[in-house]
Each structure stands twice: as C-alpha cells, then as structure tokens.
Structure 1
Amino acid sequence: MTLQKRIGNWLKNSISAKMITVGFLILILLVPLGFVDDLIRERGHRQQEVISEINSKWGEEVIINGPILKVPYHQYVEEKVFDEKTKTFLKTEKAVRHEAYFFPDELHINSNVTTQPLERGIYKSVVYTSNSELKGTFSNPSFKEMEVGEEDILWDKATIVYQVSNLKGIRNTVAINLNNQRYDLKPKFDNAYMNTLESDFILDLEEIQNSTLDFESNITINGSNRLQYVPIGKETIVAMKSNWHSPSFNGNFLPDTEGKKISKNGFEARWKVLETNRRFGQSFFDHLPDLTEFAFGTEFLVPVDDYQKTSRTSKYGFMIIGLTLLVFLLIQISSKISIHPFQYLMIGLALVLFYTLLISISEHKNYLFAYVVSGGAIVSLITIYSRSILKNRKFTLLVLGSMLGLYSFIFVIIQLEDYALLVGSIGLFVILATIMYTSRKIDWSGQLED
C-alpha cells in the first residue's frame, strides 16, 4: 500500500484524524464568529450614539446644588507704590473683593419624577421630567472665621445662587421666595464644572442681618440617566417619587431602607444626610469648590437591553458550536456514519448565522421573540440537514434534543444576572458528565466495545 493510500485511510478511519479535523473546523469558525461579535458591538455603539444625541437635545443628567447664600466682602492687602517725588516706596492698603458662600441649615427637597420613552428609528431612550420643590432655612451668616469687620461685609450685594449641571433642560423660570419676597434667578456662565443661576435682585439687607431666612423654590427640569442633589443643608432630607420601575440608587449616600419602595409601577425613596455625614462645612470663603462628588440620587437604569443580551449570548457561541459538532462527531464515531468535513462546516456556519439573525430581528422586535424565531430557524435547518446526512431517525432526534437543550440552557443563563455564573457552571458540569457517560463505550483506537 502506497504512502498516499495509507494517509487517506488514516484520515478516513482514524478517530484521531476525525477529532483533529473537527477541532480545526471549530477554530476556522471562530473567524466568522468574531465578525459577528464586531457587528453586535458596532450596532450597540450606534445605539448609544443615537441615545446620547436624543438625551443631549432633551436634557442630560442633572445635578442640583443649591440654594446657596452668596455674600461679598472686602479684605485688604498691602501694596508698595513708588513715589517719584520722594524716590521711596509708600505702603498702602488695597481692598480686594471676595465672596463668601453660606449653606442652609435645613434643606428639604420633594422630587416628583416622570419618565417617558423617546424613539428615533429603531432606537429608544428613556428620559424624565423632574419637579423639585425645595424648602428650608438660612441662619444669620457669620464671618468670624475670616475676622472680617462688619463694615467690610457687603450685605447690600448679597444674592442667592444655584448650581445646575444642565441649564438646557430647565422648564420653568427659577425663582426663590425668601420670607415671602420673590427673587428671580438668571444664568451666570462663570463656573467650569457647573452652570450657575443667580438672583438678579439684591437681597434685603435687614432680612439677612437680623433674622433667619425661610425659603421656597421650585425647579422643573428635563433630564436623562441620573438625577442627583448635593447635600448642602446642615440637615438635608430628599424624598423622591417616580413611575420608573428600575431605579439604581447611587452617589455618596443611599436612601433609608424603611423609606424605600420599588414596584412595577414605580418607586419611592427618602434620604437623610447630616452635616456630620459629609466632609465639608456650612460655609466657604473666597471660592466655592466642586461638591459634585458628594451628590446622591437615582440612576434611571434601563434593564439589560437587547444589544447587551445579544452580546452576552454571542459569548457562548464557541461552546454551542463546539458541543454541537461534538455531538455529530460522537454519532459518526459510534455509528461509523461518514460525515464529510464540508458538512461539518455547513453545520458550523448555520450556528454562526443564528447570531446575525438574533441581532437583526431583535432590533425590530424584543429579544425573546428574536431568540425564539432565530433559534427555531437554525434548529430546524440543522435537524433537516442532519436527517439527510445521518439517515437515521434516532440520531436525528438526538441532534434535535441536544440543540434544543443547548439553546434553552443559554436562554436561561442570559435571563439570569445574579445567578448566571452558578447556573452556567452547574449546566456545564451536567453537559460534561453526559458526554463522558455517552462516550464511555467508545474504543478510541477505532472500535466500539461490544
């Protein structure tokens, strides 16, 4: 027998050759599977771009810091001025204007948030409109810390300041009532990290100096993704209510457990933050720092969307392809049915096609519908194809059952989040045990045991 015939017989009859061939085909199929992963990522990025564009026009995430009492004051610096007549330097004092910022003693915020979907083509974003009612009290500001004389405090220049991350989304004229006196606020673009709203009327001098200031204010604002507040009150209490069913409470503080309610119709949450819970005091002099790191609130979390589910599903592509081809390989070895490498390749490509069907259908329908339709189509296609290859009803039913089990197993894992790893590990253990059991009688030298 010639060497060529020996190699041909080895490739035809050797179990090792069949396993090497199938393994090589699986590696080849990783190439189109990688292209499918790139396609899913590309479509997912496109979705995020469209959502970001929708959100930017409606209103992006909102952080509210205020109201803050802003009082200018003078401090004096020594200057040396050269006198041409005496040819000496004369010492003078120059008044430099600074600002002091005082936070309220009490800050109560009642926020009612209504969410709604916005669509563009096949993409959808969830946005909200928030109506925030703010109430509280300012105490008499103290400059003792800076040792500023009473005559150097510009009480008649005091104003009220709000910092808002998203001026574009504001839907009402923002005003504040101080002891029943209304003051409108206008934008001041002088801050790098937050946009500023400041009262356009100077506050009453006697009210600031001689009594506490009770305030009321209302802000209606459009936003998306997150709504947060900075706890500038010595005691800050925030109550939030919304029709959104999937909130994620984030930021520097979490809501009280007894005040938190979440249902399919929406949620309610309540926060209470004290001055002792923060790392900043009730006043700042000269400049107001960025306090957004202390903000807290709610992210209006969109549950795992179809692109995320499809991406997670594609990560199991190697396992589905490998196990499906392994089933055909075991059938071939145990029954001596001849399966050509081209036929293995066709089965593998059909398995890859499942993911393109899944992503394309899920863009127009929901993930469940897309999974059932694309999975049913591929299982039917491979089952019919295997019937013509195997010419045995028992083996065809085995292929059908194994594929239905695999796709059902993957679907269950995708639906689970907290227990996905646990269920996946147990499922893989069961699959491996089944393969080990069914292959125990195979004589890997090339013969089936009696």
Structure 2
Amino acid sequence: MESNQQPSTNWVRESVLLKMLIIVVIALVLLIPSSWIQGLIQERSARQQEIIEDVSDKWSGSQLVQGPVLVIPYKKQITQKDTANKITVKEYTETLYLLPENLIIKANINTETLHRGIFDVGVYNAGLSITGNFNRADLAKLQIDSSNMMLDKARLVFGISDLKGLKANPVIKVQNQLLTVEPVLNGSNLLDNGLQAAINLNKNTSSNIPFSFKLDLKGSQSINFLHTGKTTQVEVSGNWPSPKFEGRSLPDYRHIDAKGFIAKWRMLYLNRPFPQQWAANDTLLNSLKNTKDALFGVELHIQVDDYQKTTRTSKYAILIILLTFVSLFLTEVIQKRKIHIFNYALIGAAMIVFYTLLLSLSEHLGYNIAYLIAAVATIALIAWFTASLLANTKAATFFAAILTLFYVFIFVIIQLEDMALLVGSIALFVIVSVLMYFSKKISWE
C-alpha cells in the first residue's frame, strides 16, 4: 500500500506541468488586485478632473467667443379677413439677423499653471482685438420693405460663454460711435451669455458698417471661436508650449516651440453651417449642431497625462507577471533549485505593488521618474529575494537583467504612439522565441 502511494506523492511534487498550471493560476489570481489598481487609478483621475472643474469654476471656465451679430427689428403686417368680410391689418415686430462681412480676431494668451494640492490646472488671461464690418442687408432677398426697418433700434450682439471671465467692461466702436455694453436680458436664444450694444443706424448712409472692440478675458483649459464672418480670420498666440488645436478647422499656419505658439485661421462662409442673413429665427446661430460645426480654437493641453500612462501601464500587468513567472520557472529548472509556489505568490505581490508605487510617485514626480524609481525598487527586491532562494548570485543577476528588459520594454511601449503596436509585436515575438529556445532544456516528463 505504501509503495503505491509513494510514486503518486513524488509525481505531485516533481511534475513540471502541474507546477506550471499552479503558477498560471497564481498569475490569474493576481488579476484581482491588478483590477483594484486600475480602479484606484480611475478614482484618482476622477479626483483630478473634479479639481480642474472646481478651479475653473472659481477662476473662469473655457471661453467661447461668439459673434458679433447685427440685429435689426422691422415691422411686418398681416392682412386678415373676418367672417363679416371686414379686412384688418395686424402689425407686429420681427427681427433681421446679419453676420459680419469680414471678421478679424487677434488674441494674445498669457497662460499660467495653478496648483491645487498635487494637481495642476492650466488657466490664462487673454487680450482680444475684434474688428470687422457689416454690409447692408439684402432686403429684397428676404422680401422686407425698407420702410419697415426700425434702424434706430438696431443692436450689435456678441456672446462669451463665461461672463465671469470679463476683467473690464467692453466698449464697442461702430461708425465712430462709442457704445456701452449691457447683458441680453430679454430671454433671447440668439447666443449664450449674450452682450449687446444699441446702435442707431438711421444716420448711416454708407453700405459699410465697421466695428471694433477689445475684450480682456480670463479663462481656463481652452479658448474657442465661432466662425460667423463671411470671411473669418483669427490669429492666436500664447506662451503655452503644448497647445492642442480643436474644432472642425485646423489652423492654416502654426508654429510651436518651447516659448509658446502662434496659430492662424482663414475661413470662408462656404463651409459655414448658417447663412449670411436671415429673419425670424433666433435659435439658428445657437443650435447645438451648427455651433459644433462652426467651432474652432486652442486647448491648453497638458502634454503628459500621468494617469492615462499609468492606466496603460497597468493593462500590461498580466503580461509582465506571466513572463516573469515563466522566466523564474526556467531559471529554477536550469539551476536545478526548487522555488516554492508561495514564493511565486510573493514575487507576484511585489510586482502588483509596483503599480501602486508608480501611481503615488507619479502624482508628485511625474510618470517617467516615478516609473524609474518603482521599477528599480521592484527589480532590486525581486533580485535579492531570488538570490536568497537560488543561493546563486549569478543566476539572480541574470534574472534581474531579464526583469529589467521586461520593464524597459513596457516603458518604451507606453512612450510610443503610432509605432507601439509594431514595436510591441516584434518584441513579443523575440521573447517567445527565446522562451522556446530555453524550453528545450527542460525534461517535461
């Protein structure tokens, strides 16, 4: 009876395949704390976003400059006949909307980084110079009688997404008239957070209506513009070293260096989602689709997103753990020194702790330095532990070199963008080839 149990016991202890199966199970179990790490990263990233929104709310949010639009009311009559065939004429007021013939915007952005705890938020002060001109409306095309135009009640309207960012009251110059600005309080849907200035156009004998005004704005994260001119020209310059151009139109010219950037747009109304003039529709300019299709601008992009890089790194956790376990298994077989399963679990735990080190350190030191410190600490710990298990410093040093190669491989993959898949595929092919070579030295029986 004892002779039958002894071979069975030895097989369980000596089976290479069974040990490999247990190692794979340990690696899969380590996916549970790995998923916890990813949840922690998401939580910290969400906290960062909360801080950004809170600071932006107190400073001033992203700014969208809309307009200007020339708004001219006019009288319209409707002839009605009652049951007694009596004809009555009912008069009411409609509105004509006219966009600029030429719109020129020059913006100079002075940026800075605000710190809230360990988080950074990009904010700016911007000086904008806005000039252009309106042409007289084509009333015949809109079937409007010129005698019904209420030119003395015209208004010039423009919008800013966050009025809290205005640092000074704008003064608009139209036809050599200096006009004061007041909020649009009559419930108009023409523009969000609209500002208006009353204009008397009765004295205008020219077909050209020039305008100019300056804006002194605070904002955060981004500044955008709405393409409202028949020809719109925008020039934005700033001292932010990593701008991101957003919207439907990229700049025709851009220059970016360590000192800042300059970008220029020139757009025609042919690809604009609204007409040059229209009547009786105050929602046309501010509809979600039209605004999205005519929006463009600059985002103060933080070039290195540490949370995004840490998330991408953590997704390779199972790959690194498996490769490390396989390398350690091959090392113990070649060296003919057994390593207990529990020690595999401890090494796996050390590799999971690597990600918490990376996350916590990157919030203070940045991703690259945090990765270096966390990787060196993890490799040194595992190398020391392996040397004590194998009682062979040379073998432990070789294993540490293999670990270093794995962590360097992941770091390079994270840094790459377009070439990440190609480089990763080639490297994995080489790794599998090496493992196939060393697997020949194992007696799988």
TM-score range, shorter chain: over 0.9
Identify the residue that residue 120 of structure 2 maps to in structure 1.
Answer: 124
TM-score, structure 1 as length reference? 0.92
Identify the residue that residue 61 of structure 2 maps to in structure 1.
Answer: 60
Deviations 1:31-60 (A, max 9, x none): 111111111111111111111111122222
Pair 1:282 & 2:276 matched: yes
Aligned equivalents of 2:399, 2:250: Cα separation in 1: 51
Task: Report deviation, 1:287.
Answer: 2.0
Pair 1:25 & 2:26 matched: yes
SS in 1 for 2:65: strand
User: What does residue range 8-157 of structure 1 map to in structure 2 within 5 Å?
Assistant: 8-79=9-80, 88=84, 90-157=86-153
**Equivalent residues of 1:68, 1:160 under 8 A apart:** yes
**Equivalent residues of 2:245, 2:297 under 8 A apart:** yes
SS in 1 for 2:203: helix
Aligned equivalents of 2:258, 2:432: Cα separation in 1: 39
Closer/same/farther in 2, CA of residues 211 and 330 from structure 1, 3 Å limit: same
**Equivalent residues of 2:142, 2:278 under 8 A apart:** no
User: What does residue range 1-400 of structure 1 map to in structure 2 within 5 Å?
Assistant: 1=2, 5-79=6-80, 88=84, 90-189=86-185, 190-191=187-188, 194-199=192-197, 201-207=198-204, 210-256=206-252, 259-288=253-282, 289=284, 290=286, 291-293=290-292, 294-400=294-400
**Equivalent residues of 2:347, 2:382 under 8 A apart:** yes
Task: Report deviation, 1:142.
Answer: 2.6
Aligned equivalents of 1:443, 1:376: Cα separation in 2: 34
The 10-residue stretch of structure 1 (237-246 or 181-190) with the greater mean CA deviation from structure 2: 181-190
Deviations 1:103-146 (A, max 9, x none): 11111111111111011111111112221111111112232222
Aligned equivalents of 1:363, 1:5: Cα separation in 2: 56
Task: Report deviation, 1:7.
Answer: 4.2
Letter in 2 for 1:263: D
Task: Report deviation, 1:5.
Answer: 4.2
Letter in 2 for 1:429: F
Closer/same/farther in 2, CA of residues 5 and 40 from structure 1, 3 Å limit: farther
Task: Report deviation, 1:26.
Answer: 0.4
**Equivalent residues of 1:172, 1:219 under 8 A apart:** yes
Task: Report deviation, 1:79.
Answer: 4.7
SS in 1 for 2:418: coil
**Equivalent residues of 2:331, 2:399 under 8 A apart:** no
**Equivalent residues of 1:15, 1:333 under 8 A apart:** no
Letter in 1 for 2:324: T
**Equivalent residues of 1:137, 1:215 under 8 A apart:** yes
Deviations 1:307-329 (A, max 9, x none): 11111111111111111111111
**Equivalent residues of 1:161, 1:198 under 8 A apart:** yes
> Which ranges in structure 1 are unaligned for 5 or more consecutive residues?
83-87, 446-450
**Equivalent residues of 1:242, 1:266 under 8 A apart:** yes
Aligned equivalents of 1:4, 1:52: Cα separation in 2: 68
The 10-residue stretch of structure 1 (317-326 or 226-235) with the greater mean CA deviation from structure 2: 226-235
Closer/same/farther in 2, CA of residues 131 and 3 from structure 1, 3 Å limit: farther
Letter in 1 for 2:406: L
Task: Report deviation, 1:249.
Answer: 1.6
SS in 1 for 2:214: strand
Aligned equivalents of 2:266, 2:406: Cα separation in 1: 49
Task: Report deviation, 1:196.
Answer: 0.7
SS in 2 for 1:246: coil
> Which ranges in structure 2 are unaligned for 5 or more consecutive residues?
none
SS in 2 for 1:56: helix
Closer/same/farther in 2, CA of residues 109 and 327 from structure 1, 3 Å limit: same
Aligned equivalents of 2:94, 2:70: Cα separation in 1: 14
Deviations 1:328-376 (A, max 9, x none): 1112223331111110000000000000111111122222221122111
Task: Report deviation, 1:90.
Answer: 4.1
Aligned equivalents of 1:389, 1:292: Cα separation in 2: 66
Identify the residue that residue 448 of structure 1 maps to in structure 2.
Answer: none
SS in 1 for 2:51: helix
The 10-residue stretch of structure 1 (155-164 or 411-420) with the greater mean CA deviation from structure 2: 411-420
Count of equivalent residues: 436
SS in 1 for 2:303: coil
Aligned equivalents of 1:412, 1:247: Cα separation in 2: 24
Identify the residue that residue 85 of structure 1 maps to in structure 2.
Answer: none
Aligned equivalents of 1:261, 1:214: Cα separation in 2: 31
Identify the residue that residue 416 of structure 2 maps to in structure 1.
Answer: 416
The 10-residue stretch of structure 1 (4-13 or 16-25) with the greater mean CA deviation from structure 2: 4-13
**Equivalent residues of 1:63, 1:292 under 8 A apart:** no
Task: Report deviation, 1:64.
Answer: 1.2
TM-score, structure 2 as length reference? 0.93
Aligned equivalents of 1:220, 1:11: Cα separation in 2: 78
Aligned equivalents of 2:112, 2:325: Cα separation in 1: 46
The 10-residue stretch of structure 1 (184-193 or 379-388) with the greater mean CA deviation from structure 2: 184-193
**Equivalent residues of 2:94, 2:279 under 8 A apart:** yes
SS in 1 for 2:30: helix
Aligned equivalents of 1:182, 1:4: Cα separation in 2: 104
SS in 2 for 1:68: strand
Closer/same/farther in 2, CA of residues 96 and 13 from structure 1, 3 Å limit: same
Aligned equivalents of 2:3, 2:108: Cα separation in 1: 86
Deviations 1:372-415 (A, max 9, x none): 22111111111111011111122201211011111111112222
Identify the residue that residue 427 of structure 1 maps to in structure 2.
Answer: 427
SS in 2 for 1:324: helix
Letter in 1 for 2:142: M
Aligned equivalents of 1:57, 1:100: Cα separation in 2: 37
Aligned equivalents of 2:38, 2:398: Cα separation in 1: 29
RMSD of equivalent CA atoms: 1.8
Aligned equivalents of 1:116, 1:21: Cα separation in 2: 54
